[in-house]
Amino acid sequence: MTGEAFHESGVGKGVTTAALGTILKQRGYKTTLIKIDPYINYDAGTLRPTEHGEVWVTDDGGEIDQDLGTYERFMDQDMPKKNNMTTGQVYKTVIDRERRGEYLGQTVQFIPHIPDEINRRIKDASKDHDIAIVEIGGVVGDYENIPFLFAVKALERELGKENVAYILVTYLPIPGHIEEMKTKPTQQAIKLLSEEGIFPDFIICRAKRPLDEVRKKKIETYANIKSDHVISEPDIDTVYQIPLDLEKERLGEKVLTHLNLKSRKKPDWASWKKLVENIRSPKKKVKIAIVGKYVDIGDYALADSYVSINHALFHAGASLNCGVEITWIDSKSFEKDRSRVKDLGRYDGILVPGGFGGSGVEGKILAIEHARKSNIPYLGLCYGLQLATIEYARNVCGMKDAHTTEISRDTPHPVIDILPSQVELMKNKDYGGTMRLGAYAALLKPGSQVEKLYRETGRLDEDKARIDALAKQRMDHFRLGKLEKGRNAVLERHRHRFEVNPRFISQVEKQGLVFSGYHVREDGTKLMEYIELPTHPYFVGTQAHPEFKSRLGNPSPLFYGFVKAAMRER
C-alpha cells in the first residue's frame, strides 16, 4: 500500500509528511517515509549547509536531506539511507547497469529506464511496510521533477488507483499591502499537476492564518475534490502541534478511508500533548548560545544549518518542562573583537556544534575557554569535542601550539589528527567517501557523568537492544568494533575524518580532563568518543552527533544533561 505526497517548495512539506506519517502510525499502520530530491548530486554529503541546510546522517551511514531528520523526530523511527533518493543516484545506477551489460544491448532511454529505476527504489524502501508516503522535493512545475511525476503515475497504474492518494501541500500568500489571502498559486499548482495526469485527492493549505470558507470553496471547485479534503494548516508556534491540528481535521481518518482502510487502533496523543504544552508554557526558561560558523548568508539567519541541534534542545527542554531560548553566534565575531567573548556570560549554556575547516575556529576556542573558566555549562559536538581538547591542551597542559592537522599540518602538538586509513583518499581528493559515517558503538567509563546520563534517560537499555540486533548482521560488525564485558556501550551517529591523537591522551588526562568513552576498532585502535571535566558543573564533549538520535519524548542524554545543568545555572 503506497501513499504519494506532492508539494510546493519551502512551505513545510517535510513537516506535513512527517505529521501524516505519525498520525497513520498512531492508527496502527507500519508506515515509512521516503524523500525524493531532484538534484544531480549523488547525496547531500558535499552540499554547503548555507545552501541546502543541515546534512542528516543515518545509522547506516547515509548523508542525506534534512527532511529525513524531521521524519525520524516525529515518527520516533530510524530511516535508512535508501529512503532518500536523488536524480544523481537514479541516473548513476542506470548508467552503471548499462556499462555492465545488464540491459542486454537495449537502447537505454529516459522512458522506460529512468521511471523504472525510480519505482524500483520506491518499492525497495517501502518493503515490509503497510503505507509509504513519498515526498517529492522542489516545486510542482520544476523541469527536474518531471521524471518523478511520470514514475509515480506509472506506479499508480501498477498498484491501482484505489491504493494511491495524491496530496498537494500548497501555500496561500497574504500580501501585506492588501491583507487578502490569494488562491492563485494553488490553482496554478493544481493545473501543473493535471498536465502530468495527476489530480490531488487532498490539498493541505499552508498560510499565515486559517483558511476561510470562501477560499476553501474556491479551491474545492477548482480542484474538483470534496470540501473536507481541503485542509487548513496555518502557522503555529511549534511544529509539534501540527499532528494534533491535522488530527482535529481528521486527515488520517480521511486518507485511510480514501485507501479503503480502517484504523487498527485508537490514537493516544496524551504524552505528545503534554510535551507540546511544556514547549509552549514551560515552568522555567534557559538561554543557550550556539557558537558556530554556518549562521547567516547575506542578511538572513540560517537556523537550518543546525536544525537538529535546535530540536534536540527543545526535546530536552520539553522533558524537563523548561523553555530553551537559542541564540546563534558567529564565532568569527570573537576573532574580530576578543572582548566580545565576555558577552557569553549572559547565557546559561554554551554549545559548539560540528563543522569543518579553519573559518571561525579560534573564535570557538575562545568561547570554550570562557565556558570552562566561568563554569558555564558546555556541550561540544564532534568538532566541539576536538576544539575543547585543543583548548585544554593549550591553556591547561602547556601545549601552546596545540592544534588539529586539519588546519595546521606542521603543529608540534597535533592533538587532533586524521585517520591513517583516510590519508590516501585525501591525497586523491576523494572527499565524498572519506568520513567515518553512521552509528558506531562507544564503551562508557563506569561511574562517569556520561554513563549516568545514558542510564538516567533509559538509553543504556535501548542501545543494548540495538547493539544485539547489529551483532546479528555480519556486514555491520565494524560499527560495533570490539565490545568489552562489564562495560556499558551506546550507539551514536558520526560524521568526521579526524580523531583525538592517542599520543596525547595520557598527558591531557593527567591534567584533569577525562576521556569517558571510546570505540575499539577491530584492529584494536581506540578512538576517543567522549570527554568530561569532573570539576566543572557540566563540561561534556562527544565525537558523535547525538542530535541525530533525539526525539520528542526521548531526548538525547547529553542534551538532557546540558539543559538540566543550564537550569541550575539559571
Among candidate residues 156, 382, 413, 536, the one labeled active-site is 382
DSSP 3-state of 467: helix
Residues 407 and 353 grouped into a single domain: yes
* Same structural domain, 264 and 140: yes
Burial of 429 (0-12, 13-18, 19+ CB in 10 A): exposed
**Residue 244 grid coordinates:** 494534533
Same domain? 214 vs 317: no
Average pLDDT, the chain: 92
Q: Whose CA is closest to 460, among 359, 557, 341, 348?
A: 557
Long-range pairs, 278-281, Cβ under 8 A, ≥24: 278/317, 278/318, 278/319, 278/321, 278/322, 279/238, 279/240, 279/314, 279/317, 279/318, 279/323, 280/237, 280/238
Per the domain annotation, does 90 fall within a domain? Answer: no
- Same structural domain, 261 and 335: no
Q: What is the DSSP code string of 146-209?
A: HHHHHHHHHHHHHH-GGG--EEEEEE----TTT-----HHHHHHHHHHHHTT---SEEEEEESS
What is the tens place of the pLDDT at every residue in 406-425?
A: 999 999 999 999 877 666 65
In a domain, 476, yes or no: yes
Question: Could you tell me how far CA 42 lies from the centroid of its own chain?
Answer: 18
What are the phi and psi torsion angles at 170 (to 5°)? Answer: -130, 165
* Dist CA 174 CA 182 (whole Å): 6
For residue 101, being part of any structural domain is answered with no
97 belongs to a structural domain: no
Tell me whether residue 315 is in a domain: yes
Regarding whether 534 and 473 lie in a shared domain, the answer is yes
pLDDT at 248 (0 to 100): 97
Q: Do 261 and 287 belong to one domain?
A: no
Same domain membership, residue 419 and residue 318: yes
Point out the domain boundary residue: 268, 291, 319: 268
Query: Structure pTM?
Result: 0.93
489-496 and 526-532 beta bridge pairing: unpaired
| Same domain assignment for residues 423 and 463 | yes
Are residues 166 and 245 both part of a single domain?
Answer: yes
- Flag whether 103 is in a domain: no
Q: Count the neighbouring beta carbons within 10 Å of the beta carbon of residue 266.
A: 8
CATH number at residue 173: 3.40.50.300
* C-alpha closest to that of 399 among 532, 501, 542, 498: 501
Both 384 and 277 in a single domain?
A: yes
- 382 is a catalytic site residue: yes
Nearest to 7, CA basis, from 185, 222, 182, 160: 185
Cell of 211: 483558511
Does a structural domain hold residue 108? no
Same domain, 364 and 396: yes
**For residue 417, what is the domain's CATH number?**
3.40.50.880
Residue 553 CA to residue 543 CA, distance in Å, equals 24
pLDDT of residue 374: 97
Total domains present in the chain: 2
pLDDT in tens, the chain (570 residues): 333 444 444 568 999 999 999 999 999 999 999 999 999 998 888 777 666 678 999 999 999 989 999 999 999 999 999 999 999 999 999 999 999 999 999 999 999 999 999 999 999 999 999 999 999 998 888 889 999 999 999 999 999 999 999 999 999 998 877 788 999 999 999 999 999 999 999 999 999 999 999 999 999 999 999 999 999 999 999 999 999 999 999 999 999 999 999 999 999 999 999 999 999 999 999 999 999 975 555 544 555 678 999 999 999 999 999 999 999 999 999 999 999 999 999 999 999 999 888 889 999 999 999 999 999 999 999 999 999 999 999 999 999 999 999 999 999 999 999 877 666 656 666 555 568 999 999 999 999 999 999 999 999 999 999 999 999 998 899 999 999 988 999 999 999 999 999 999 999 999 999 999 999 998 898 999 999 999 999 999 999 999 999 999 999 999 999 999 999 976
In the listed set 229, 246, 268, which residue is the last one of a domain according to the structure? 268
Distances 171 to 168, 185, 197, 198 between C-alpha atoms, Å? 10, 7, 21, 19
Task: Identify whether 72 is part of a domain.
Answer: yes
Range of the domain at 530: 273-569
Q: Which of 261, 1, 258 is nearest to 127 (CA)?
A: 1
Q: Would you state the pLDDT for residue 4?
A: 40
Per-residue model confidence (pLDDT) at position 295: 58
Give residue 373's pLDDT: 98
Q: How many CA atoms lie within 13 A of 355 on its CB side?
A: 25
Catalytic site includes residue 547? yes
Domain edge (last residue) among 268, 299, 331: 268
Is there a single domain that holds both residue 383 and residue 506?
yes
